[in-house]
Amino acid sequence: MAKAPTIGIVSLGCPKALVDSERILTRLRSEGYQLSGSYEGADLVVVNTCGFLDSAKAESLEAIGEALNENGKVIVTGCLGKEEELIRGAHPNVLAVTGPHQYEAVVSAVHAHLPPQHDPKLDLVPESGLRLTPRHYAYLKISEGCNNRCSFCIIPSIRGDLVSRPANAVLKEAESLVKAGVKEILVISQDTSAYGVDVKYAESKWKDRMVRAKFYDLAKELGELGVWVRLHYVYPYPHVDEVIPLMAEGKILPYLDIPFQHASPRLLRAMRRPANQDRTLERIAQWRSICPDLTIRSSFIVGFPGETEEEFETLLDFIEEAGIDRAGCFKYENVEGAASREIDDQIEQDVIDERYERFMETQTALAYARGDALVGATQTVIIDGFDENTRAYEGRTKADAPEIDGIVRVFGTGLLQPGDILDVRISAAEGHELTAEAA
């Protein structure tokens, strides 16, 4: 039998892009393509690009160049695919360029340059599809695109307006992930709490009931699956308050990833942030009174045009006062096509760099204080794997999302598998890196 056509994939960018890559792979695998983890082993390479920031564009162009040098047959897709001229200008030899979430177009391009050899008896795809994340956790994308127009962001111009998936389709996917062994579901989209706005929260039939395509309803149903459910990219719209009791009841993880981006009301308006309001500190205090274990992760931009020293200090005060548990910081980048590029009063790069350093100092001090406060406490962790160097299992508490938050090194247990969940006692802490013994 002839060798099956083999595809390699290079996946850049955010978890949403990763989900796109998984869909492309699942589809190709179902058509009989084999997958290769190396350039040499592949007949053709798909590069799924990111075009969010200029630095991401440069990284994407570099990855395309590397794939061309190492393999020669390259199809480009993803966010940067919108800028075909830029790609073809840098790399005239790419076989095809398609845009974000154009699965059909990528697959057709692969068919054109590397025809499939399908054998339906052999090419079985697991019901849950193929995933690039470890087997015990998976990203669940509930919508594409975004209705907001934050002035620093070009995602809506790349990915279009919000398109929500029907609630029953999301729940069916979640259920098949759980059946396939997933123990933690990470809900993602550009704006998770806006889920369903575009379809007027349309109901769809799930099991014996109708479920609205609405943030709360979806969170409630996901909470019935018996696995960890973590919410990412949640904007603080008023209805976010409704999911806090679900967290307090242990239905979904007490974890909110809310990209606040800043704390100065004037700058938030200039950023055109959705749901920006002055009562944020008050609301966070109220959430914590309902769910004391709540972990808040957020990301912030420093050096947005016009940011004064005083406004920057407001931001530092905010992350302390709000007790932001995990804070990511981005230096403002003047992205081509973003409305904020037109704002006068761009901040000098050395000022941006200096503010970034100060932000990181404050956030590191907070992380260390938080870690120290956990010593002696019992925490529930999910195991991600075993580290040969430290001879410890590595896991995460409910407060830690994979890849972006902290880890726990667990000693003194019996044999564990990724996805196992157990209680441990924290014995030492260094910021977000904790050490623990089996409880």
* Site for ligand SF4 contains 150 (CB under 6 A): yes
Q: Residues 6 or more apart from 170 whose CB is under 8 A from it?
A: 140, 142, 218
Binding residue (CB under 6 A) for ligand SF4 from 17, 146, 244, 268: 146
Q: Which of 201, 167, 206 is closest to 187 using CA atoms?
A: 167
Q: Residues 6 or more apart from 51 whose CB is under 8 A from it?
A: 57, 60, 78, 79, 80, 81, 82, 83, 154, 158
Joined together, the tokens standing for residue 313 give 């200090």
Instruction: Return the number of the residue (342 or 348) whose C-beta is nearest ligand SF4.
Output: 342
* Site for ligand SF4 contains 197 (CB under 6 A): no
* Site for ligand SF4 contains 153 (CB under 6 A): yes
Using CB under 6 A as the binding rule, the residues of this chain from 106 to 125 that contact ligand SF4 are none
Segment near ligand SF4 (CB under 6 A); pick from 151-159, 353-361, 401-409, 431-439: 151-159
Binding residue (CB under 6 A) for ligand SF4 from 21, 49, 189, 190: 190
Rounded to whole angstroms, how far apart are CA atoms 181 and 296?
27
CB of residue 152 to ligand SF4, shortest distance in Å: 7
Joined together, the tokens standing for residue 334 give 């003047």
CB of residue 150 to ligand SF4, shortest distance in Å: 3
* Site for ligand SF4 contains 155 (CB under 6 A): yes
Binding residue (CB under 6 A) for ligand SF4 from 116, 134, 156, 166: 156
Joined together, the tokens standing for residue 31 give 């058509």
Alpha helices in 308-400 (DSSP H): 309-321, 349-374
Long-range CB contacts for residues 83-87, cutoff 8 Å, separation at least 24: 83/51, 83/57, 86/57, 86/61, 87/61
Instruction: Return the number of the residue (149 or 205) whose C-beta is nearest ligand SF4.
Output: 149
Q: Which of 101, 104, 115 is closest to 155 using CA atoms?
A: 101
Segment near ligand SF4 (CB under 6 A); pick from 1-9, 152-160, 168-176, 250-258: 152-160
CB of residue 178 to ligand SF4, shortest distance in Å: 28
Instruction: Return the number of the residue (133 or 151) whose C-beta is nearest ligand SF4.
Output: 151
Give the footprint of ligand SF4 on this chain (CB under 6 A): 146, 148-150, 153, 155-156, 190-191, 274
